[in-house]
Chain A
Amino acid sequence: MSKPRVAIFDFACCEGCQLQIVNLEEELLDLISLVQPVAWREAMSESSDEYDIAIVEGSITRPEDEERVKEIRDRAGILIALGACATIGGINKLKNNFDLDEVKRYVYGKDAEMPHLNTAMTKAVDEVVKVDYKVHGCPINRSEFTYIVRCIALGKEPVIPNYPVCVECKKRENVCRFEYGEICLGPITRAGCNAPCPSAGFWCYGCRGCVDDPNVNAAKDIMEKYGKTVEDLMQKMALFGSGQKTEARE
């Protein structure tokens, strides 16, 4: 059986999730024994339009990018959304909380009307095309990425955690961030990162998006217990979760 051909594409993002692929270091050489990279502009000058798996990083922020991602979707058998910008819109969705014309004028002043500065509401990739697999996080977790690619190459279905970050955080024996008077999104955020932020002494800001069915009532209880409001929680959620489709927004 020939190796699946993989192409990597980037849209509006910091390209930090592609960097995590480079950061696999020696392990990347092992991964290349399972799949064949055929297009990856950031790392290769070689390029091909024939691929089985498309890995798409970044948010969709312009009409022409919607067209481009649709073409990629048409060519690929499998499409993987890579990182928070692609899976939930990420930081880029903060922009959607403002009037877009005002945003352009604020940053570019009198040049705001130049056509190349055009922008539209930020969308996650699955708001434009069908996404088969999501590699969550900002940035992605490298071992989760290789796990998902290995599963696909071997024809298995990857299992992505659908429980909150608190589970992994407790396993690491961290003191709860709420005990420090902070607001942490651990109770509603999808695990799989192994809680690096609370483990370093910082709150979870929800870069992996919400679990499928977040326990909103439990989150409300926690807020009440620590004298915080749902509005406080929503403020924190806006960073990575602006416009996220979830019951937790209600």
Chain B
Amino acid sequence: MSQSIDINVHHLTRVEGHGNIVIKADDGTIEKVEWQVPEAPRFFEAMVRGRSWMDIQTITCRICGICSISHSLASIKATEDAMGIGVSEQTRKLRLLTHCAEQLQSHSLHVGYLAAPDLFGVKSVVPLVASHPDVVKTVIRIHRVSNEWSDLLGGRTTHPITIVPGGHLTPFNENDLRGLKKTIEETTVPDLKTLAEVILSVADKLPAFDRPTEYIALSGPDYYTFYDGDIASSDVDEKVSVREFEKVANEYVSPQSTAKWARWHRESYAVGALARFNINADRLLPLAAETAKKFGLEKGCCNPYMNNVAQVVECVQVCEHGIQLIDELLSAGLKPEERNVTVKAGTGVGCVEAPRGILFHKYTYDEDGICTGANICIPTNENHANIQKDFEVLVPQFIGRGKEELQQMLEMLVRSYDPCISCSAHYLDVKFA
């Protein structure tokens, strides 16, 4: 059957940042399949030069409003690595607990507000307020608790204040932690069960599309990590130290796209919730593992649309882990801590799993603690090439379904990666030409 299709989505909606989709097919021949990222770059790596080590987290967390906790953690870890600064077990646990809040916030925002309208066949969450008020209220409640969690542990919702090199500021007490635990247990965990049921009831709207690719995530020895560990790949057994991340994220410029792409063992790789699930699924806590099972999500899944489901699973995971962490912190007792920072020259790497995938910050400091160089590698940039490769397989496979359905599938595909284009630069559009 001959097909002429012209799709041109300029500034795709319901994603963070701007991007375009351009598809052109004439008489059955596909002439153009492009995922474009017209960037308005902000030059963070250049701007941190000349600034004191004390100010670097304040600057680089502003790369992203949604994952400012992840950028803060990657930033201070890099500074600590450069100067050989160690932290206490209390600080490590408070950081993990703060990071859990962000995963819940970012995932519930994405699944509930940005992706769910596609599953319900509407253009935004606004019509859902009238048609499915209980669902919207459940999402709002989950999101509100995640923000109160960030407020408490981070000092405020966005652009955290408490995450500092060598420690974690504690403008809260043990009672606050007890209250948070109670809220998570009594409100958020039941709400997440409800949300999982709702998403499950419309999960057939997620297209059945498999494309094997390489998945990359942090992997730690003993838990489902967002913070510790080495870089693991679904393609090989050996892990790579985060200090050697530049071996993994091989950035290159493709003639097809203006955005930088990244590859390791294949021509593209994927990062994010599905990648973490594929690497670390056997370390999920019981309720999270049960949630994955309900959706039939198994290790080795290569349907990119299932990233939405992996995010739901991780929402449950971070609540369960958060409760554990609070218990551990309370049984040890929350203590005021001195921070011991000795400024010295050096280069360091900090790596964490941002909600959208593995994130690297690398800084060099001189002997006065002034930053002289930086390299920051962002998950959305790492996913760009994989999105393009998905397009190239998906478009010929589904072109027979016509422009409208194809466009919807492509928009949903990009959204399923939950791209954060402010992070990588700024822009995302879809054009069906």
Contacts and interface: CB of A to CB of B under 8 A. Distances in A.
Interface of A: 11-20, 22-23, 25-26, 29, 37, 41-47, 61-62, 65, 90-92, 94-95, 97-98, 102-104, 106-108, 111, 114, 116-117, 119, 138-139, 196-197, 199-202, 205, 235-236, 239
Interface in B1-60: 11, 13-18, 38-43, 45-47, 49-52, 55, 58-59
Contact of A16 (B46, B143, B159): B159
Given A25-B143, A61-B42, A98-B46, A16 B64 contact: yes
B13 A45 contact: yes
B313 to A, nearest CB: 23
A14 B62 contact: yes
Given A29-B129, A98-B46, A43 B65 contact: no
B258 interface: yes
Interface string B123-160: 11110010000000100100110010000000111110
Interface in B186-241: none
A119 B11 CA distance: 20
Interface in B248-266: 253, 258, 260
Contacts of B41: 104, 107-108, 117, 119
Contacts of B143: 22-23, 25
A45 B45 contact: no
Main secondary structure on chain A at its contact with chain B? helix
Given A98-B46, A106-B45, A139 B158 contact: yes
A139 B161 contact: no
Main secondary structure on chain B at its contact with chain A? loop
A106 B46 contact: yes
A187 B39 CA distance: 38
Interface of B: 11, 13-18, 38-43, 45-47, 49-52, 55, 58-59, 62-66, 68, 109, 113-114, 117, 123-126, 129, 137, 140, 143-144, 147, 155-159, 161-162, 164, 169-171, 253, 258, 260, 422, 426
13 contacts: A14-B68, A15-B64, A23-B143, A41-B13, A42-B15, A45-B123, A61-B42, A94-B59, A103-B47, A139-B159, A200-B156, A239-B51, A239-B55
A93 to B, nearest CB: 9
Contact of B40 (A12, A37, A43, A197): A12
A20 B151 CA distance: 12
A37 B169 contact: no
Nearest 3 pairs of A and B residues by beta carbon: A16-B65, A200-B155, A45-B123
Given A41-B11, A202-B164, A111 B124 contact: no
Contacts of B55: 205, 236, 239
A162 B65 CA distance: 27
